[in-house]
Structure 1
Amino acid sequence: MTTTSSAHLAGPSSPGRLPDTNGRHGASDDAEYTFWREHTTIALQPVAAPSILGLFGFAVSTFMVAANLAGWFGNDTSTPLVLFPFAFAFGGIAQLLAAMWSYRARDGLATGIHGAWGSFWIGYGIYTLLVGLNVVPGTATSPDAKVAFGFWFIGLAAVTWTGFVAALAENIATSLVLLTLAAGSTLLAIGMTAALPVLVTIGAIVLVASAVLAWYTASAMVLAGSTGRNVLPMGQRGAPAMPGTSPRRPIEYAAGQPGVKIGQ
């Protein structure tokens, strides 16, 4: 849940107005606190957990693309044209929207990870379209293209490792999603830049595991939001994680908190 707030300043004749001291010590801290408390309006704006959409979009698109990288399907020239629209829309646009809504929820971790990977999937979708139309070379036929693609995974791995460290403070499920995602990206980066196909295959399989974990995490968030209790445990930090218990951070305004429920 997010909130917006606005301060309504009193006019010159208002008894609650603080005097202009031109930098000198004026009213006490208690008086200043009372003034802002009485002249601040808090408007609550409920927001569903954006990471539900982001994780589902990531899970499906990553599963499809990683399975293709692992050689499980798609060995003909038409595969890039089939992958393009879904990677672009479900993996890219959906995650980018989730990132912007995570920004509204004041969740920096989700904003950064969904934003980075959503942007990547949009770029990947456009690239596969161009490959399918024979406009640019693909990684399967051009060693230079594969190395260049590997360098993109170096950057993605760096961002995702940072996200993994940050997620350790939230819950185990999200941490495992980002751990496997960062590890898979690292393996793909090494495998593509050093021309080691076996590492590409292993990295793709690790990404499939990350997709499964993302599906589980998003499902846990959906069920927690719908039922009001933890149906699937996520390993929340500092709170019981057994099925049937109440979530540590429900998607609602926290009573007694002055203005903002941060995160999802």
Structure 2
Amino acid sequence: MAERAAAHAAGGDGMEYSFWREHTHINLSPVAAPSILGLFGFAVSTFMVAANMAGWYGNSTLTPLILAPFAFAFGGVAQFLAAMWSFRARDALATGIHGAWGSFWIAYGIYNLFVGLGGLPGPTASPLAATAFGFWFIGLAAVTWTGVFAAFAENISIGLVLLTLAAASTLLAIGLLGNIGILRLIAAYLLIVSAILAWYTASAMMLEATYKRVVLPVGKVGAEPNVPGTKPKRLIQFEMGEPGIKVGQ
């Protein structure tokens, strides 16, 4: 403090700023792109659950018990961890979306565990459970629609993932509240499309990180290149372009 007072007395504010610049240390904490894990976790979990909703496999007794731990771990924990790492990367969109849907998948896994064990009714067996479940999807749809508008300002591929997810959430909310089976079925197929888009986007991010060039285009908005084979200006996991050093992923 004595040094600071002396600097201020000698040269005013300019000297004080020089003092702080000379005594400031910056520690960089780069991280890998968190959405690679988050999108893969979302893609696999959503595909498995949506395929069950579409009637591709399973039943109402054994399937919830099998889905519960995987939805909890891969869809929930993995996505929630991705949200926390996105927070470090200063990616507001990924923090919000992975955090919201990761929390949902954790709860979904716990809920299906109780359904499979017979402690709680499933939404297909109980109108009361379906109504309560539908109200949750109102909130999820609202959060995801907001994410859609944010995503299209940066990345078209992520925007499409969230667009199909938001549309599916909206239809699920209406279908569950109104007991409209066809809307639930359409929502299931939209969720499958969203899962495929999420897998593609995460694959593109991972390949760009390892090959240090664009392999699969994702429609980045702005000056970032989108043509396969070109080198991105802000590389993922490379030198000063790492998430955590630059804003976003």
TM-score range, shorter chain: over 0.9
Q: Does 1:108 align with 2:92?
A: yes
Once the two structures are TM-superposed, the CA of residue 15 in structure 1 deviates from its matched residue by: 8.0
In 2, Cα distance between the equivalents of 1:248 and 1:237? 13
* Counterparts of residues 192-231 of structure 1 (less than 5 Å): 192-231=176-215
Once the two structures are TM-superposed, the CA of residue 75 in structure 1 deviates from its matched residue by: 2.1
1:178 is matched by which residue type in structure 2?
A: L
Query: Once the two structures are aligned, what percentage of the paired residues are identical?
Result: 66
Matched residue SS, 1:36: helix
Q: Tell me if structure 2 keeps the 8 A contact 1:253–1:261.
A: no
Any idea what the Cα deviations from partners look like across 1:183-220, whole Å, max 9, x if unmatched? 11111111111111100000110010000000000000
Q: Tell me if structure 2 keeps the 8 A contact 1:16–1:35.
A: no
Once the two structures are TM-superposed, the CA of residue 169 in structure 1 deviates from its matched residue by: 1.4
Residue equivalent to 1:18: 8
Matched residue SS, 2:90: coil
Once the two structures are TM-superposed, the CA of residue 117 in structure 1 deviates from its matched residue by: 0.3
Residue equivalent to 1:6: none
Once the two structures are TM-superposed, the CA of residue 245 in structure 1 deviates from its matched residue by: 1.3
* Counterparts of residues 31-42 of structure 1 (less than 5 Å): 31-42=15-26
Q: CA RMSD in A?
A: 1.9
Residue among 85, 110, 135 paired with 2:69: 85
Once the two structures are TM-superposed, the CA of residue 262 in structure 1 deviates from its matched residue by: 1.2
The structure with the greater share of residues assigned to helix is: 2
Given the two structures, how large is their TM-score scaled by the length of structure 1?
0.87
In 2 relative to 1, CA 122–178 (structure 1 residues): closer, same or farther, beyond 3 Å? Answer: same
Q: 5+ residue gaps in structure 2?
A: none
Given the two structures, how large is their TM-score scaled by the length of structure 2?
0.92
1:61 is matched by which residue type in structure 2?
A: S
Residue equivalent to 1:54: 38
Residue equivalent to 1:75: 59
* Counterparts of residues 1-264 of structure 1 (less than 5 Å): 11-13=1-3, 17-18=7-8, 27-28=12-13, 30-238=14-222, 239-251=224-236, 252=238, 254=240, 260-264=245-249
Q: 5+ residue gaps in structure 1?
A: 1-10, 20-25
How many residue pairs align between the two structures? 244
1:211 is matched by which residue type in structure 2?
A: A
In 2, Cα distance between the equivalents of 1:253 and 1:112? 27
In 2, Cα distance between the equivalents of 1:174 and 1:209? 13
2:121 is matched by which residue type in structure 1?
A: P
In 2 relative to 1, CA 67–228 (structure 1 residues): closer, same or farther, beyond 3 Å? Answer: same
Once the two structures are TM-superposed, the CA of residue 39 in structure 1 deviates from its matched residue by: 2.0
Q: Tell me if structure 2 keeps the 8 A contact 1:87–1:121.
A: yes
Q: Tell me if structure 2 keeps the 8 A contact 1:153–1:188.
A: yes
2:218 is matched by which residue type in structure 1?
A: M
The structure with the greater share of residues assigned to strand is: 1
Q: Which sits farther off after the overlay, 37-46 or 181-190?
A: 37-46
Q: Tell me if structure 2 keeps the 8 A contact 1:59–1:212.
A: yes
Matched residue SS, 1:43: coil
In 2, Cα distance between the equivalents of 1:13 and 1:243? 55
Q: Which sits farther off after the overlay, 138-147 or 212-221?
A: 138-147
Q: Which sits farther off after the overlay, 35-44 or 97-106?
A: 35-44
In 2, Cα distance between the equivalents of 1:240 and 1:212? 23
In 2, Cα distance between the equivalents of 1:131 and 1:45? 42
1:123 is matched by which residue type in structure 2?
A: A
Matched residue SS, 1:223: helix
